Structure 1
Amino acid sequence: MLAASMAACGSDGAGSASSGSSKEESKTESKSESSGSTGTSSSGSSEEKQTGDGTVYNIGICQLVQHEALDAATQGFKDALVEKLGKDNVKFDEQNASGDSATCATIMNQFVSSDVDLILANATASLQAAQAATSEIPILGTSITDYATALDIDDWTGVTGTNISGTCDLAPLKDQATMLNELFPDAKNVGILYCSAEANSKYQADTIRTYLEEYGYTCKDYTFADSNDIAAVTTSATSECDVLYVPTDNTSASNTEVINNVCLPAGIPIIAGEEGICSGCGVATLSISYYDIGYKAGEMAVQILQDGEDISKMPIESAPNVTKKYVPARCEELNITVPDDYEAIEG
């Protein structure tokens, strides 16, 4: 009887271990199946290099709106992951919120329900939606001007201390003010044009105003709530200002043609916070590469997913370089002479 009892105990123990293994295998299979059914996915040849254990990582990407700068950041992120992990080992569920914060929230909740391995939040509204959706899944931001402002963090130290890190798209605002003064030393009134719904745009406006006033300019904010107000607000700004400054602002970036159609006929030049806006309606910018900051975010993702780095301790990364750039045709039309150290934006 004792021998039979011991045999029964041994059978129970083996059965329990087998059951745990079965559950783990089932979870792995389920994860693999769900990764294949995500929205916009990336798959490739079996000849691509594999991760050490053959893991397939599912990445959710939420981009606030489609425009040149954010598109470049997303592409850089994806390129880094594919290059580092191989096409067979990473799948992307890529979603665009069409400029709507509520849609960002819906997308993020879908990513959480799908149990993605990591989220890329491209632009501030996407990052804020991701923060609200999960405190567990690693979140990398990109095209974020100021993380402390976006995430409402006091006593900023350079790291969030949470499941969030990423890359910053802010070119030095003091240097942008210097650029404006270099090109327009005789201007008196500077209008700062931006969307009031974008917290990071307000941060840039408040910061650069101090630098501009040190040069003796009189500054005034001209804000619009959404794209419906842009033409009217821009018209008001051109009637009262000698030059406009448009910070890195997603609503402006999506409506540069509207802004240009008001400012260019009025003869009012624009210094832009980034190259995409400058190309669409500006004369000059101190530019970063959005592809580069997206790529850097992709490298950070590899460190988290493959190397096991603690995202809560990862510092926010900035663009490695800034470049003075100008739009030759617009500068010529407005009779603006640009120093030799500026690089032309073609097209």
Structure 2
Amino acid sequence: MHIRKLVTGITMTGLLLLGGCSSKQGGSKSAVKHVGILQVVQHPSLDKAYKGFKEGLKEGGYTEGKNLKLDYQNAQNSQDNLKSMSEKLVNEKSDLILGIATPAAQSLANTTQDIPLVVTAVTDLKAAKLVKSDAKPGRNVTGTTDMVSIDKQINLLLSIVPKAKTIGVMYNAGEANSKIQADMAIAALKKAGVKIVVKTANTTNDVQQVTEALAGKVQGIYVPTDNTFASAAAIIGKVVKEKKVPLVAGSVDQVKTGGLATIGIDYELLGKQTGKMAAKILDGKAKPQDMPVEKAENLKLVVNKEMAKALGIDPKSIKAPK
């Protein structure tokens, strides 16, 4: 009887030890991780960032339906939705949350200082008060920036319209990321000695009118990676095609939809980078406060050949400035 109890006790102890080992092995990826996603609005660049994020998580060992549960929320550019959806994801005690674009990232960061938060499609994390510095975030937030060389994009536009006397800049002044880029673009244009006309729009409903008003006054247009204008890229494309005005955009996807060219980011690849960062956090191998903010690994020249032909420009003549 005593022997049987002893054997049973040893067996139970062994099972408890094994169970304890299993629960501590974050890298075993056996437990289902809950990841919340908040996207500010639906448009191709941000949709691709989310798609890439899932690819990055999968490469890191987390697959939806197996050991990963995703809760995707899209605020459709509504501040009220951003607030309520942020609270929902935080209250659900997600293991990690993704913020896609600056407004979503800021809303989440204002809602939780505890849950690990990764962000993507954010131009300047420090300026947005998301991190203390890109090198050492110092809080529960890290991620990837979509900042590219605005100077190169402006030089690209000026190389397409070398005789231009006036260049237009369009953006939503209410988007912090857009204002940063627009200010840089304006500074580069001033340095180049051209006249600048600036137009802003707060909603997608205003974009067509703003574009039509600007296109009649300029020989070229620059639009940064702006969520409001990206959401209306097709409308913008129709106007600039009719007015025969070349448009360089900050986003590759906006060029494909309604612009002429850019030196920009593949948002799917940027999202993938972010997903790999998130996987390391879920593994317990890294903490957001210690993970440097990452830049896009690959930039590329993208030319919309159909738009070029409609504008009477040889697509092969568009080259990336050195």
Taking structure 2 as the reference length, the TM-score comes to: 0.87
Letter in 1 for 2:108: A
Query: 1:161 and 1:73 mapped to 2: Cα distance?
Result: 24
* Aligned residue among 216, 238, 244 for 1:267: 244
For 1:289, the equivalent position in structure 2 comes to: 266
* Aligned residue among 36, 56, 73 for 1:80: 56
Q: Residue 83 of structure 2: SS of its match in structure 1?
A: helix
Structure with higher RCO (Cα < 8 A, 6+ apart): 2
Letter in 1 for 2:314: T
* Aligned residue among 160, 163, 166 for 1:183: 160
How far residue 229 of structure 1 moved from its aligned partner, in angstroms, is 1.3
Deviations 1:214-253 (A, max 9, x none): 2221112110111121122112111211111011011111
Query: 1:341 and 1:283 mapped to 2: Cα distance?
Result: 10
CA gap 1:53/1:275 in 2 versus in 1, 3 angstroms: closer
For 2:198, the equivalent position in structure 1 comes to: 221
Query: 2:225 and 2:199 mapped to 1: Cα distance?
Result: 15
Q: Is the 8 A contact 2:204 2:232 kept in 1?
A: yes
Deviations 1:142-175 (A, max 9, x none): 0111112222767x45433111000011221111
Letter in 2 for 1:75: K
Q: Residue 94 of structure 1: SS of its match in structure 2?
A: strand
Query: 2:142 and 2:79 mapped to 1: Cα distance?
Result: 20
For 1:117, the equivalent position in structure 2 comes to: 95
CA gap 1:341/1:143 in 2 versus in 1, 3 angstroms: same
For 2:4, the equivalent position in structure 1 comes to: none
For 2:292, the equivalent position in structure 1 comes to: 315
Paired residues in the alignment total 297
Letter in 2 for 1:120: L
* Aligned residue among 116, 130, 147 for 1:138: 116
* Aligned residue among 104, 107, 121 for 1:126: 104
Deviations 1:231-284 (A, max 9, x none): 221121112111110110111111112212322111111111111111122111
What are the residue-to-residue correspondences of 1:165-204 with 2, within 5 Å? 165-204=142-181
1:61 correspondence with 2:17: no
How far residue 74 of structure 1 moved from its aligned partner, in angstroms, is 0.5
Query: 1:196 and 1:53 mapped to 2: Cα distance?
Result: 43
Query: 2:318 and 2:198 mapped to 1: Cα distance?
Result: 30
How far residue 295 of structure 1 moved from its aligned partner, in angstroms, is 0.7
Letter in 1 for 2:97: I
Percent identity over the alignment is: 32
1:251 correspondence with 2:218: no
Query: 1:241 and 1:258 mapped to 2: Cα distance?
Result: 18
RMSD of aligned C-alpha atoms? 2.2
Letter in 1 for 2:155: T
For 1:207, the equivalent position in structure 2 comes to: 184
For 1:5, the equivalent position in structure 2 comes to: none
Q: Residue 261 of structure 1: SS of its match in structure 2?
A: helix
How far residue 310 of structure 1 moved from its aligned partner, in angstroms, is 2.1
How far residue 330 of structure 1 moved from its aligned partner, in angstroms, is 1.0
Letter in 2 for 1:259: I
Deviations 1:8-33 (A, max 9, x none): xxxxxxxxxxxxx9xxx9xx9xxxxx
1:280 correspondence with 2:257: yes
1:330 correspondence with 2:301: no
Structure 2 alignment gaps of length 5 or more: 1-15
Q: Is the 8 A contact 1:62 1:122 kept in 2?
A: yes
How far residue 98 of structure 1 moved from its aligned partner, in angstroms, is 1.2
CA gap 1:157/1:116 in 2 versus in 1, 3 angstroms: closer
Letter in 1 for 2:124: D
Query: 2:161 and 2:122 mapped to 1: Cα distance?
Result: 28
Letter in 2 for 1:108: S
